[in-house]
Structure 1
Amino acid sequence: NPDFSIVEQRLMPLDAAREAVGVFRANRIDCWVFAGNAWLILNPAGSHVVHETRTVQTPPTIVPAFTDEHLAAAGKIVGPNDDYDLIARLAAQLQEALGGRANVARSQPYYCDVVAPGIDKGRLVTLLAQRLQVPAQEIMVLGDMENDLEMFRVAGFAVAMGNAADAVKRAAQAVTLSNDEDGFATAIERHVFGD
C-alpha cells in the first residue's frame, strides 16, 4: 500500500528459514532476514549492506542473532556474496535441500534469495493484476535475471534489460539498454509512451 503497510505476505516455514540461515552461515555468508517491514542483519560491515541501504533507502536493523521469532516472520532470506560461483552453488544446494519448503533464486549474480514456497515474480504479477483489476496481458514487465522469467511468462509484454542474462533476453519480446544506461526509462518511453 502507499503507506507501506503489507497487503499480503507468505512466510517461510520456520525449519526452512533455520536451514537456509545455517547453510549461509556455514559458508561464511552474512545473510539478511526480511521480516515484515524490517531488514535484519548481523554484520553492518557485511557484503553489500552499504549498496542495499542506498538501493532501498532504509537502514537495516542490526541484531545480535536471528531468533526463532525473526525466522518465523521471515518473508525472505538473502545471502549476499561477490563469489558468484559460490552463490550459484548455494542456490542449487538450497533448492535441493529445501525442496518444496521454499523457493530459491538468484535476484542478482551476488544475491541468493530464499522465499516461501510458490512465491516468485510471476505470482506477484498475477496477484497485482487481480488486485488492480488489470488483465495480466496488459502488463509490461522488465527484468535482467533468471528469477524474472516467471513474470515474463505471465505478463503481456516482457522487456529484458541490456545487461540481462542471455536466457532472459531470449524470453523477452524486447531488449532495452542496460541498467546503467537508463534502460528502464528508455523502455517506458518506447513501449508505454511510444516515443
Structure 2
Amino acid sequence: MNYKLLAIDLDDTLLGQDLKISNRTQKLIKEARKQGLRVVIATGRMYSSALPYLKQLNLTKETITYNGALVKQVASNKIIDHRPVPKKLARKIVDYVEENNLHLNLYLDDQLYVNKSGFGADYYERISGVKPTLIKGKLSQCIDQPSTKLLIVEENLAKVKEVLVALQDRFSDDLNVTASKAHFVEIMNQQASKGRALKKLASDLNIERDQIIAIGDSYNDLDMIEYAGFGVAVDNARDKLKEKADYITSSNDEGGVAEIIEKFILN
C-alpha cells in the first residue's frame, strides 16, 4: 500500500518517557517526508506546547492540537479549524469542578490558566513546558469566551476514573469527554476529536482513508485509529486501543513509530 499520510500522537507515542523524539525516529520521518509522505502531529497538547516538536521535525503544514479542537498551519500560523467548548457548557464544568474541589486547566487564545496551584499545575507544566497563569478570584468569572478545551488534572487515579464516568454520564450528549494521560480528564466540544479532525484534513487534501496510518496510545486516539486505513497502537497503549488497532508496534521507548515507518512506508 502506498501510504500518503501518517498521523502521530505525541505523548507516550512519538515521545519517549524523557519527552524526546529519538534520533532514529527523526531521521526516518525526514526520509519518509522526502519520499512524499505527509506527516501530521495529532496531539491533545496546546499548540504552543506542541510547537517545539513541530519545529524540531521541520513540520510547517497542518497540525492537530487540543485533541482536534484546534487545527493550525504552522508556517502561516493560520487557524484552519477551531471548535471550542461553548461558554454555557464550560460554566457547567466549572460548577462541577468547584463542587468537587478539582484542578482545572482553561485554554484561552492558546494561553493556559489554572484555578489552583499544587500537583495539577506542577505536573502539567513539567510535561508540557507551559507555565500556567493562576486565576485569582472566582473561576466562573473567567469564562468570558469559549475555552478551546478544559482539562481536569487529578493525582488520585481512582478519582480520575470517578470524574471521567460522572462527566461522561452527565455531558455525553453535549461534550466529548475522554482520557489521555492517566491523570487527565479531557473535555472538548462535541464535534472536536482527533478522528474528526483527521477526516476533515484528509478530505481537504484529497487523501483516502486507506492511504492513512495513525499511531496512538490512549482513549483520545481511539477514533483516529478507527478512522485511519491502518490504525496502530504502541505496545504501551491502553488495552482498548490495542483491541481496536490493526497492528501493535513497539512501545514509545522502543521506537514504535520508527518501526512502522521502516516496515510499512520505507519498505
TM-score where L is the length of structure 1: 0.86
Residue matched to 1:109: 182
Please list the CA deviations of residues 67-122 of structure 1 after superposition, one character each: whole Å capped at 9, or x if unmatched. 55546321210001132221112112112222422110011221001101122221
Identical columns (%):
25
Map 1:9-88 to 2 at 5 A.
Answer: 9-47=82-120, 49-65=121-137, 66-68=139-141, 70=143, 72-88=145-161
Report the CA distance shift for 1:192/1:35 in structure 2 as closer, same or farther (over 3 A): farther
2:101 and 2:184 mapped to 1: Cα distance?
A: 14
* SS of structure 1 residue aligned to 2:130: coil
Question: In 2, are the aligned partners of 1:143 and 1:159 still within 8 Å (CA)?
Answer: yes
State the shift of 1:51 in Å.
Answer: 4.3
Do the aligned partners of residues 127 and 53 (structure 1) sit closer, same or farther apart at CA in structure 2, a change above 3 Å counting?
Answer: farther
User: Partner amino acid for 1:53?
Assistant: E
**Paired residues of 2:90 and 2:143 also in contact (CA < 8 A):** no
Task: Work out which structure has the larger RCO, using CA pairs closer than 8 Å and 6 or more positions apart in sequence.
Answer: 2
Q: Secondary structure at the residue paired with 1:164?
A: coil
Quote how far apart the aligned CAs of 1:149 are. Answer: 1.6
Matches within 5 A, 1:115-130: 115-130=188-203
- Residue 96 of structure 2 aligns to a residue whose secondary structure is helix
| Cα displacement string for residues 108-166 of structure 1 (whole angstroms, at most 9, x for unaligned residues) | 22100110112222101112212333223211111111222211221111110111122
The Cα RMSD (Å) is 2.2
8 A contact 1:160–1:172 mirrored in 2: yes
* Contact preservation (8 Å) 2:157, 2:183: yes
SS at match of 2:151: strand
**Count of residue pairs the alignment pairs up:** 193
Which of 215, 231, 244 is the matching residue for 1:142? 215
What's the TM-score once normalised by structure 2's chain length?
Answer: 0.65
Match of 2:207, SS state, is: coil
Mark the runs of 5 or more structure 1 residues left unpaired by the alignment. none
Unaligned ranges ≥5, structure 2: 1-72
Given the alignment of the two structures, is residue 192 of structure 1 paired with residue 265 of structure 2, yes or no? Answer: yes
